[in-house]
Chains A and B, each alone.
Chain A
Amino acid sequence: MSTLSLANRRERSTRAAWRERVLATTLALTLSCAALSKDDPAAVSFTPRERALILTLSPPQPAAKDTTNHADGNPEAVKLGKTLFFDPRLSGDGRFSCASCHDPTRNWADGKEVATAAGQGTRNTPSLWNVASNRWFFWDGRADSLWSQALKPIERDMELDGSRLQVAHLIAADSSLRVSYEKLFGKLPDLSDSRRFPAAGGPRASDETRLLQWWQMDGDDRQSVTRVFANVGKAIAAFEATLVTATAPFDRFAADLRGGKAQSAAIGPSAQRGLQIFIGRGNCVLCHSGPLFTNMEFHDTRVPRRPGTEPDAGRLTAMTSLAEDEFVSPGPYSDDPTGRRARQLFYLDAQAGSPGHFKTPGLRNVALTPPYMHAGQLATLRDVAQHYNKLEDAAPPADPLHVEALIKPLGLSESEVDDLVAFLESLTSEPPNATK
């Protein structure tokens, strides 16, 4: 073997060893980078457009004062409303109050698929967090103010099954309630004549006796009782308007970005990746927009129907309810019949009320209020994410003429679904608000 060939062999050997070292080093670096990118928030980078979009989602703003309710924001009304909210004497048989379904220990919901009180409901009890910020109320939006919403369960047969006459008598008979009421709303009508003012009755009573008692009353007497009933709703609404979520980890993350930080560890890397999906290819933010994560409007998201149930008309029937409702914002019991909320109803397009459309729920504290969707069809946030991800059991569009074109399988991986859930969990208040 020549010296030259030996030298060549040594050189080749040295090169091979060097290549191996470089490969090993590169592999080690790649692995360590991969490990870093899994756990290091710095690995999630947001484009300027994404950062701008994130800032639109925080912080939440206080709800605008409801000018249709002159008691809104009044501490005395809040106190009276809270008492009434928890008072089972509002119900027909004295067993149920607003809190029976909107349980403060369950984040003002009930944890059930559908509500159960005097009867079996057909829809999931929505949480009351941030409820005053809504544009429309109930899953189908059949009330246009919070005080109007608060009245309807009291007289509905499957909820409290009470009546407005009974409620007016309760206020008149309980000296504490009466004093608070008259301080806020003026003197109660004299209800002492039981022939003029029977013990129970209302236009939506579930039995003929109470219906008959109501419609046999003088028109002016009916109106004065209805005025008391409306004021009860306004007091309850004043209390419900205080149920506001606190700062969440996501808000601290957004505040860091707003403050000019390039990165933030306020939420973990998985939640940050989930946020990127939420505002990006998940299309979630198109409906869950703004600091409360809702556009407050109505969509058919093709959620599977609960087994054994009939189709729910949703927003469609709400249009009729709104047209017939005496407690709407432009109505005789409103404190601002020409204001913003009244105009909102004036401009509502009845043709937009499609069957099977339900309100986009807000997402703050959403991780605390399972099950999900308008009839509690999906048990966990992961189930919700997988519904939109795969549409495997999706119902057909409820209205073939009004199909939400955005509802398509997202094609997320299992870990991306986990990331989306992690982001939704970062919207939970720290610590969860206590009952005020």
Chain B
Amino acid sequence: MHTLRCNFTATIAAALFSVAAIGATSGPALQSGSVTSRLDTEGGAFALTIKSNPAPIPLNEPFELTITVKAARKIDDPNPLWLGVSATMPAHAHGMNTRTEVEPLGEGRFLVRGLLFHMAGDWDVLLQVAKGRVHEQAHMRVRIE
């Protein structure tokens, strides 16, 4: 089994996953929609397309991610594609108070529920992907203001 390494950090531009808090808790600024970001896992074995709902991600409100995973090359393994998602605040030394539920939707698509960023600041979203013996991960930085 491959050792999981953290050598890829994708910083998502503020205009993408950004800046959730401003206006989000005080009025009708929360709008359902989706914003797309793309990133590759550390070894390049998988490409991830990520949409949030609502978008932008709100401060202190539940949200979902729809993640599409595509293998860069054919992986001969009968095991299904697996995705794990968690998030931490490195500057605060803690993570979310919720656990995520990842539902496979078929054809490499996953719906991630149970996400809630309860504080403003930088969140590090860890995305772990596995297909048989190939395990890789990516980090996505999300700034909530």
Tell me the A residues contacting B by CB distance below 8 Å.
49, 52-53, 55-59, 61, 285-287, 289-291, 295-298, 343-344, 346-349, 351-352, 402-406
Contacts and interface: CB of A to CB of B under 8 A. Distances in A.
Given A53-B22, A289-B120, 17 more contacts: A52-B22, A55-B23, A56-B23, A61-B27, A285-B120, A286-B120, A290-B59, A290-B60, A295-B60, A295-B118, A297-B119, A343-B62, A348-B98, A349-B97, A352-B96, A404-B92, A404-B94
Contacts of B62: 343-344, 347
B25 interface: yes
Given A53-B22, A291-B25, A406 B92 contact: yes
A296 B60 contact: yes
Which of B24, B93, B101 gathers the greatest number of chain A CB atoms within 10 Å? B93
B21 interface: yes
User: Sorted from nearest, which 7 A-B pairs have the closest CB atoms?
Assistant: A347-B114, A352-B97, A290-B25, A349-B99, A347-B98, A297-B118, A52-B22
Contacts of B93: 402-405
Contact of A57 (B26, B94, B95): B26
A339 B105 CA distance: 22
Contacts of B96: 349, 352
A46 to B, nearest CB: 14
Interface string B81-102: 0000000000111111111110
Interface residues of B, number: 29
A55 B26 contact: yes
29 contacts: A53-B21, A55-B22, A55-B23, A56-B23, A56-B25, A57-B26, A59-B26, A61-B26, A61-B27, A286-B119, A289-B25, A289-B59, A289-B119, A290-B25, A295-B119, A297-B60, A298-B97, A343-B62, A347-B99, A347-B113, A348-B99, A349-B96, A349-B97, A349-B99, A351-B99, A352-B96, A402-B93, A404-B94, A405-B93
Interface of B: 21-27, 59-60, 62, 91-101, 113-114, 116, 118-121, 145
Contacts of B27: 61
A297 B97 contact: yes
A256 to B, nearest CB: 15
A289 B23 contact: no
B119 A402 contact: no
A61 B113 CA distance: 25
B89 to A, nearest CB: 9
Contacts of A403: 93
Contacts of A352: 95-98
B26 A347 contact: no
A55 B23 CA distance: 7
Given A52-B23, A57-B26, A295-B118, A289 B98 contact: no
Contacts of B98: 347-349, 352
A56 B93 CA distance: 25
B97 A348 contact: yes
Contacts of B23: 52, 55-56
Contacts of B114: 346-347
Nearest to A407: B92
A143 to B, nearest CB: 16
Given A56-B25, A56-B26, A348-B98, A289 B60 contact: yes
Nearest to A53: B22
B83 to A, nearest CB: 17
Contacts of A52: 22-23
Contacts of B25: 56, 289-291
A403 B89 CA distance: 12
Nearest to A60: B26
Contact of B26 (A58, A295, A404): A58
B24 A56 contact: yes
B120 to A, nearest CB: 6
Contacts of B118: 295-297
A176 B96 CA distance: 47
A205 to B, nearest CB: 33
A295 B101 CA distance: 22
A377 B62 CA distance: 33
B26 A291 contact: yes
A261 to B, nearest CB: 17
A404 B118 CA distance: 14
Contacts of A404: 92-94
Nearest to B114: A347
A364 to B, nearest CB: 14
Contacts of A291: 25-26
Contacts of A296: 60, 118
Contacts of A61: 26-27
Contacts of A343: 62, 113
A59 B28 CA distance: 12
